[in-house]
Amino acid sequence: MSLLNPRDLIDDDEAFLPAIESAWAKIVGFDAVFPNSDLTGHSRRVARSAMAIARQVGFSQRDVFELGAACLMHDLGKLDVGTSILNKPGILTDIERAEMRRHAHYGFLALRGIPDLPAVFTLVARFHHESFDGKGYEGLQGDAIPAAARIVQIADVHDALCSRRVYKPGEPEGKIICAMIRPSRSGLGRAQFDPNFLRLFAKLRLADPDFAATAPERAEIEAFVATEPGLDQVYAQRDVATHELPDVADAAPSLRP
């Protein structure tokens, strides 16, 4: 599988391409100094998963590519978080956790000043940590969360939990998908995710020949997918490119404890 870069997804004549390439170079450069951060690899994997969901949903090719490029930028704000926090092998303090949560807002601020940049870039950067149940960073709930951000949230959580980090080992994918689709009153569970997008993603993972799961895990995921008819339904995309951002000050948003 070839590496994914902004120029693979953005037309050469787009005025915003140089700014995005410059931001991407900073992410790649950060990983060169701190390889355990894996920002580059994580962003690429999230992009591929999100693009796969978007294709199933029925996004146009242009919207799929713009979403993929936005995914490459979704953690740009982490470059403004202290490296001692990003690369800390232990549990974050409350203050450190609050600073880490601000990365979504930092990324939004860095991107919104780029002329002619499609809205999906700022939407994804700012809202990819919103939860369908309203328990995310800014408390948006359900369809109030832009569709692009709902898709990226699924891809982001999936890759973050499956991948090794300095503070944790990677988990088997079958185990993670099962945790994502199970009901839960607290912590990881299906209430966090758009139910239609989550089912589409589970269906895609089941069809991937590289998907690894135990027989019971696969059966559980298959049962979850089968509970929702019309998986290939085409969803309205009005909020992918035209969703208006709420008014926002330059200061970081209020953060949940």
Please list the active-site residues. 78
Beta carbons of 190 and 184 less than 8 angstroms apart: yes
Distances (CA, A) of 35 to 78, 83, 151: 14, 12, 27
**Half-sphere exposure (CA, 13 Å, Cβ side) for 177?**
26
Helix (H, G, I), strand (E, B) or coil at 168: strand
CB 158 within 8 A of CB 198: no
Cα angle for residues 115, 119, 120 (degrees, 5° grid)? 130
| Token pair listed for 169 | 């080992």
User: 3-class SS at 102?
Assistant: coil
Beta bridge pairs of residue 166: none
Name the residue among 194, 153, 162 with its Cα closest to residue 70: 153
CA dihedral defined by 245, 248, 250, 254, rounded to 10 degrees?
-120
Residues 187 and 199: their CA atoms lie apart, in Å, by 19
What's at 137, amino acid-wise?
Y
Query: What is the rounded distance in angstroms from the CA atom of residue 178 to the CA atom of residue 173?
Result: 9
Give the number of other Cβ atoms within 10 Å of residue 135's Cβ.
13
